[in-house]
Structure 1
């Protein structure tokens, strides 16, 4: 039995590989979370008002002395543990009241208004350049470019279509537009509709009176009818009728050539792309007139009218 040969037992142990590379994912997730919290904090600070930022600063200077009161009002804002830093809410022994108007920096309205006017003027100058290019590129308008006057005034961009002895815009002593005048106004209406500004139209005549007299129909009616006819052509060209703020006839009261009242250049249609300031002033004038008619406003002008009546 002692010499009996024991069988040889061979044990094969299969080692399984264990991956230990997943720990970096946890670290990376913690890093991304921290970065997200950091950017969220930066965003909150950038959108906070001056008063809120001051409150946050005061909290970190005295985190234990400055504590919110309870709903029952029993907490006095003190703690048995002394906090550090200077309490900026205390001033001469009294609690400083929060004043949002004092903490908020007042807006510089004059600077903002000046910036809006600058941008408005820039748009009008760009429109002037575009109209000048349109006149040169269009065959009909280029033919009459000497009768198209474009300039910038205190009211806005002014486009004047003046008459010529050989190329009148209207039929003689009538409000009927010539075919080339219709084309010009319709092309202008398409361009002006792209601007947000309001538009004002005025009709002008020369000082030549009617041979039959001006009792029933005068240059005043003629200038108003011509301005209204021009308005219809602008609308037909694509301009919104809501953009038109004023249509007036001025007869020969505002001559282009004051030295020669019967000069054909005095017969013209003036289109003004109004600046924001001029449109606001005209709108205010209309509102005041409406109040006067309704009897809600009484001023010296109203009283003079009442006395003269």
Structure 2
């Protein structure tokens, strides 16, 4: 018989150590987090209790906030009076309403284009709407055989009145200020007493009257001006009929 081989078994024993208790540092961090959240929700609750005009005053204060003024005085000086100064101010209430009612250029552009496509398909190419620096520019231009004003006249045609009514209907609910500009082509005016300066200004004023007739608040009109032929729409062709136009700029405050 073969000698039986002796099997050696090695048993390893792990020594177990009692786990120590976790440290308490996490409790401090958690307490800080809960305190910060409580302060945040308390601030939200306080803001919900403040009137809109007072919130505007607070926002205006923090726009120019600095910890130390030039004089070295604390920022706390006078800051407790913010809400008192804002309370009951008619101008503050009006400012809040104006901010709330302003129409964004993009929304207004989409609204106007849709209204013109539906109601003015035959002359929609004579209404040019672009977002520009400072707001939305609506240009009502002439073309051969389709005039917004008879030549040499400041009385708008039926087409011009129809366009101005649609423009008015879409901007009258906002509070944005409005600029109205009149432009002519380079053709000299026949009358010795009247030039393109007077004609362009008269046409801009006629457009203003149409807007006001269609429920635009006169207080929203910021400027009415005539530029004669000095700002042509087609600079390479000063006689192009598209240079004869009315521009309505709906201002978007910065």
The alignment's TM-score, normalised by the length of structure 2, stands at 0.61
Deviations, residues 168-210 of structure 1 (Å, cap 9, x unaligned) = 0111111011111111101211211112210000000000002
**Structure 1 Cα separation of the partners of residues 112 and 170 of structure 2:** 8
User: Do the aligned residues in 1 keep the contact of 2:182 with 2:245 (CA within 8 Å)?
Assistant: yes
User: Do the aligned residues in 2 keep the contact of 1:158 with 1:271 (CA within 8 Å)?
Assistant: yes
Paired position in structure 1 for 2:150? 171
SS of residue paired to 1:276: coil
Task: Pick one of 196, 210, 217 that aligns with 2:175.
Answer: 196
Q: C-alpha displacement at 1:130, in angstroms? A: 0.6
**Structure 1 Cα separation of the partners of residues 104 and 42 of structure 2:** 32
Task: Pick one of 202, 208, 218 that aligns with 2:195.
Answer: 218
Task: Pick one of 224, 227, 237 that aligns with 1:247.
Answer: 224
Give the alignment's Cα RMSD to 1 decimal. Answer: 2.7
**Structure 1 Cα separation of the partners of residues 109 and 40 of structure 2:** 45
**Structure 2 Cα separation of the partners of residues 171 and 130 of structure 1:** 29
Which ranges in structure 2 are unaligned for 5 or more consecutive residues? 1-37, 45-72, 80-99
**Structure 1 Cα separation of the partners of residues 157 and 124 of structure 2:** 16
Paired position in structure 2 for 1:270? 247
Q: Which aligned runs of 4 or more in structure 1 are off by greater than 6 angstroms?
A: 119-122
Q: Which structure's relative contact order is higher, taking Cα pairs within 8 Å and 6+ residues apart? A: 2
Which ranges in structure 1 are unaligned for 5 or more consecutive residues? 1-41, 49-97, 105-118, 278-309
Q: Is residue 131 of structure 1 aligned with residue 112 of structure 2? A: yes
Deviations, residues 204-253 of structure 1 (Å, cap 9, x unaligned) = 000000234xx410000000000000011111112111111100000001
**Structure 2 Cα separation of the partners of residues 122 and 177 of structure 1:** 27
The alignment's TM-score, normalised by the length of structure 1, stands at 0.50
**Structure 2 Cα separation of the partners of residues 45 and 145 of structure 1:** 52
SS of residue paired to 1:245: strand
SS of residue paired to 1:194: coil
Task: Pick one of 121, 135, 150 that aligns with 1:156.
Answer: 135
SS of residue paired to 2:104: helix
User: Do the aligned residues in 1 keep the contact of 2:103 with 2:174 (CA within 8 Å)?
Assistant: no
**Structure 1 Cα separation of the partners of residues 220 and 103 of structure 2:** 19
**Structure 2 Cα separation of the partners of residues 218 and 44 of structure 1:** 65
- Structure index of larger Rg: 1
Give the direction of change, closer, same or farther, for the CA distance of 1:122–1:226 in structure 2 (3 Å limit): closer
User: Do the aligned residues in 1 keep the contact of 2:116 with 2:166 (CA within 8 Å)?
Assistant: no
